[in-house]
């Protein structure tokens, strides 16, 4: 019996068979360790990324931090309680033999297997935690009381704070790595973060960078990050506006197929992209899509437009919606659920965004917006939460499970994305669509990993535009 972590139908004692097994995979994050520290009160610096005691052979800066052994043990309880036997299971005993350590970034496999059925409702399970390399971290035996009655839970009804943290960017990056690397003009990568993100994407096989900016500043950033960039082409232009114009010119010269924002203000870069003469305007209006890896959602969340179109009219919202649908499809979502957001879920004549939402939904019904299941107006709560939608008796195929959110204006979108990023700990990546080439418009505060995810989005979107299909369908 191999069971997915999302299958929350339990297995009662009478149905259990010797040899039944289940497993999940989980990547260790700093967030995991901080959550465990708060819950347990264990403040051992060996487990705290910001103050870890460097171990022998580790790098400076706390690289020797290890996950607490009992946190690893808690992962086993998540398999027993969620999957096999599943909801209704009660622990009796658990033995552990911790033979290794897990560090941040390690991908763990947590596996349980029935080895003996005792007097009802008791059962014994062999438990094991291993790394992706097959190295054993922990082994043990669990004795539990299996449930005697069937219980089914919907993942949509689970509370927001889950032990499971989804890593959608990893899936997106792996898919993009199957494509040829994209020649990319990186504009003003003259600080450690922006240069590091571009180099990380290059090393992952996502881009072939041409660095456009002050050679002196770029080389100083490389020295700070201890990176060797001698083999990478640098176009030495100190002025940011001229560097952005040069990146656009490289597109017209067919030397690059994408542009990546470095340590340059978005306005300076976008003014060159959107200008009528010599810019990169295409047939559709240019818009931006944030793709967020939200820890509590089992799918990536697409939000548009929170960066370019300040107060879009209805015609602009059509293109914003279509661009977002195309990117979601490029990322493997065959028929994205698209919620057109407003303050309410019914049409109000005094709330223009509610009327725009209703028109956009009907345009999708008529095929004027293609490739997604579009509905609106929907408020944020009933767009994303099934219980909220059911409580308000909203009859909609999108309500409660929206994957794409179209916001009324830039202010609403910007605040929503930053709330999810800085309060809900979502990881953001971003892409400008509708131009002749994809533009990676990352924030100067974004991490190197977020910049690499944006590169992966650009590759997937370009392949989708060229082939008319997502690489995930091959």
What count of other Cβ atoms lies within 10 Å of the Cβ of residue 134? Answer: 7
Q: pLDDT per position in the chain (474 positions), as tens?
A: 444 444 478 999 999 999 999 999 999 998 889 888 888 888 888 888 866 544 444 433 345 789 999 999 999 999 999 899 999 999 999 999 999 999 998 999 999 999 999 999 999 999 999 998 899 999 999 999 999 999 887 655 544 444 345 578 888 999 999 999 999 999 999 998 889 889 999 999 999 999 999 999 999 999 988 899 999 999 999 999 999 999 999 999 999 999 999 999 989 999 999 988 889 998 889 999 999 998 878 899 999 999 999 999 999 999 999 999 999 999 999 999 999 999 999 999 999 999 999 999 999 999 999 999 999 999 999 999 988 999 999 989 999 999 999 999 999 999 999 999 888 888 899 999 999 999 998 776 667 777 889 999 999 999 999 888 888 865
Strands annotated E in 286-391:
287-293, 301-304, 337-341, 373-378
Instruction: 349-354: list long-range contacts, CB under 8 Å, 24+ apart.
Output: 351/377, 353/377, 353/408, 353/409
**Angle value at C-alpha 294, between 290 and 300, nearest 5 degrees:** 60
Question: Which residue(s) pair with 337 in the sheet?
Answer: 373
Spatial contact of 410 and 309, defined as CB atoms under 8 Å apart: yes
Provide CB contacts within 8 A for 335, sequence distance 6+.
371, 372, 373
pLDDT of residue 27: 92
**Angle value at C-alpha 244, between 242 and 249, nearest 5 degrees:** 90
Distance, in Å, from the CA atom of 361 to the CA atom of 340, rounded to the nearest integer, reads 8
Distance, in Å, from the CA atom of 237 to the CA atom of 247, rounded to the nearest integer, reads 11
For residue 412, what are the CA distances in angstroms to 10, 141, 165? 41, 51, 26
The dihedral region occupied by 237, where left means phi > 0, alpha psi between -120 and 50, and beta the remainder, is: beta
List, in order of start, the domains of the chain with CATH numbers.
13-157 (3.10.129.10), 168-468 (3.40.718.10)
Q: Helix, strand, coil: what percent of the chain each, to 5?
A: 35, 20, 45
Q: What is the pTM of this model?
A: 0.68
The SS3 assignment for 60 reads: coil
User: Which residues in 290-304 are b (16+ Cβ under 10 Å) and which e?
Assistant: bbbbbbbbebbbbbb
Instruction: 412-419: list long-range contacts, CB under 8 Å, 24+ apart.
Output: 412/306, 412/341, 413/290, 413/303, 413/304, 413/305, 413/306, 413/307, 414/306, 414/307, 416/303, 416/306, 416/380, 417/290, 417/292, 417/303, 417/306
pLDDT of residue 247: 96
Provide CB contacts within 8 A for 436, sequence distance 6+.
251, 280, 281, 282
Instruction: 89-94: list long-range contacts, CB under 8 Å, 24+ apart.
Output: 89/10, 89/144, 89/145, 89/146, 89/147, 90/144, 90/145, 91/142, 91/143, 91/144, 92/122, 92/143, 92/144, 92/145, 93/141, 93/142, 93/143, 94/127, 94/140, 94/141, 94/142, 94/143
Distance, in Å, from the CA atom of 377 to the CA atom of 354, rounded to the nearest integer, reads 5
What count of other Cβ atoms lies within 10 Å of the Cβ of residue 238? Answer: 13
Strands annotated E in 271-336:
287-293, 301-304
pLDDT of residue 217: 95
pLDDT of residue 6: 45
- Supply φ then ψ for residue 422, to 5 degrees: -95, -20
Distance, in Å, from the CA atom of 426 to the CA atom of 296, rounded to the nearest integer, reads 9
pLDDT of residue 166: 57
Spatial contact of 329 and 371, defined as CB atoms under 8 Å apart: yes
pLDDT of residue 285: 93
């Amino acid at each position: 019996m191999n069971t997915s972590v999302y299958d929350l139908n339990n297995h009662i004692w009478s149905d259990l068979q010797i040899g039944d097994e289940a497993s999940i995979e989980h990547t260790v994050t700093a967030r995991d360790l901080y959550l465990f520290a708060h819950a347990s009160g264990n403040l051992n610096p060996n487990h705290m990324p910001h103050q870890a005691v460097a171990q022998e052979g580790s790098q400076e800066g706390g690289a020797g931090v290890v996950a607490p052994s009992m946190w690893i043990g808690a992962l086993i309880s998540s398999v027993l309680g969620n999957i096999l036997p599943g909801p209704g299971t009660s622990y009796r005993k658990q033995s552990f033999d911790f033979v290794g350590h897990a560090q941040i970034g390690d991908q763990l496999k947590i596996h349980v297997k029935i080895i003996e059925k005792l007097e009802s409702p008791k059962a014994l399970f062999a438990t094991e935690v291993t790394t992706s390399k097959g190295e054993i971290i922990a082994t043990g035996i669990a004795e539990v009381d299996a449930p005697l009655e069937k219980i089914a839970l919907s993942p949509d009804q689970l509370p927001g704070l889950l032990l499971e943290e989804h890593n959608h960017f990893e899936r997106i990056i792996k898919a993009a790595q199957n494509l040829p690397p994209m020649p990319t003009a990186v504009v003003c990568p003259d600080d450690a973060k922006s240069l590091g993100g571009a180099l990380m994407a290059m090393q992952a096989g996502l881009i072939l960078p041409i660095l456009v900016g002050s050679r002196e500043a770029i080389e100083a950033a490389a020295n700070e990050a201890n990176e060797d960039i001698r083999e990478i082409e640098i176009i030495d232009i100190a002025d940011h506006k001229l560097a952005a114009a040069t990146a656009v010119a490289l597109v017209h010269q067919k030397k690059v197929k994408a542009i990546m924002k470095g340590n340059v203000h978005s306005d300076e870069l976008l003014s060159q992209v959107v200008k009528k003469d010599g810019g990169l305007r295409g047939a559709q209006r240019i818009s931006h899509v944030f793709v967020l890896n939200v820890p509590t959602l089992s799918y990536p969340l697409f939000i548009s437009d929170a960066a370019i179109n300040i107060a879009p009219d209805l015609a602009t919202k059509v293109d914003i919606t279509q661009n977002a649908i195309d990117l979601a499809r490029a990322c493997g979502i065959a028929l994205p659920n698209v919620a057109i957001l407003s303050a309410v879920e019914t049409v109000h004549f005094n709330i223009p965004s509610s009327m725009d939402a209703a028109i956009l939904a009907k345009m999708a019904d008529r095929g004027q917006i293609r490739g997604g299941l579009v509905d609106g107006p929907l408020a944020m709560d009933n767009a994303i939460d099934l219980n909220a939608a059911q409580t308000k008796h909203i009859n909609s195929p999108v309500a409660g499970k929206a994957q794409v959110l179209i916001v009324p204006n830039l202010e609403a979108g910007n605040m929503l994305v930053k709330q999810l990023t800085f309060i809900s700990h979502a990881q953001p990546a971003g892409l400008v669509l509708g131009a002749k080439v994809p533009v990676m418009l990352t924030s100067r505060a974004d991490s190197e990993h977020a910049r690499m995810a944006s590169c992966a989005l650009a590759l997937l979107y370009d392949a989708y535009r060229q082939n008319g299909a997502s690489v995930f369908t091959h």
